[in-house]
Amino acid sequence: MGFDLHGIAPKQNTEKPEILNKYRSGWEIKDESIQVQYYNEYEAWEKENPGVYFRNNVWWWRPLWVYVCSSCEDILTEKDMTKGSYNDGHKISKTKSLKIAARLRARINSGDVFDYYDRHQKEYNEAKEHNQKLEILIDLLRDRVKEQHGDIVPANYPEPHRTDWDNLQSQKKWAADYPFDTDNVKEFAEFCEQSGGFNIY
């Protein structure tokens, strides 16, 4: 699962290659060599025109959007902030998009985004270390159940093993699954600046 952001009126820095106008998508191309050409030219064109499209998987998008919302509370509405966590095509206007870009660039220039990264990375690393230790206990429980009851899935663990499993799972720290990177913020700011507004899918 990911979040796909499409620019509404993206700035066109370079002309769209002919092959991208000829085919709506690479999926409809049967000739493998032409399909490879399509994807190569599409990737190059997207890099030259960053306002066209921006994508993050769910693990990268959520920390980025949290940072955007915390930095742009006076730009985004409550609805914008909430809808940014869903794939239902919510629209962020060109005016808001430009303001987001300016705000993020200001945060980058002031060093705020790097301070935020340091704080996030500390929590991220601590969570990963915690989960690694937890996985050792989970593996020990799994081996113990297998030895006593055979190779069964956790949902079928007899008591008290099922309760032990649930207790261990409840101790996982989900912060370990959500990375944050300053380059991602920079790329998103550039997308916002050149997108002409965008929809979140």
What rounded mean pLDDT belongs to the chain? 96
Q: What would the pLDDT profile of 102-136 be if each residue is shown by its tens digit?
A: 999 999 999 999 999 999 999 999 999 999 999 99
* pLDDT value of position 17: 92
Q: Is the confidence at residue 73, as pLDDT, over 90? A: yes
- Of the candidate ranges 5-14, 23-32, 190-199, the one whose mean pLDDT is the lowest: 23-32
Q: Which of 171, 180, 188 is nearest to 54 (CA)?
A: 188
């987001």: which residue's tokens? 100
Q: For 92, phi and psi rounded to 5 degrees?
A: -110, 120
List, for residues 135-187, the tens digit of each pLDDT value: 999 999 999 999 999 999 999 999 999 999 999 999 999 999 999 999 999 99
pLDDT at site 24: 85
For the chain, what are the domain ranges? 1-201
40-46 LR contacts (CB < 8 Å, sep 24+): 41/17, 42/17, 45/14, 45/16, 45/17, 45/20
- With residue 61 as reference, give the H or E element that holds it: helix 58-71
pLDDT of residue 37: 93
Place of tokens 């060093």: 111
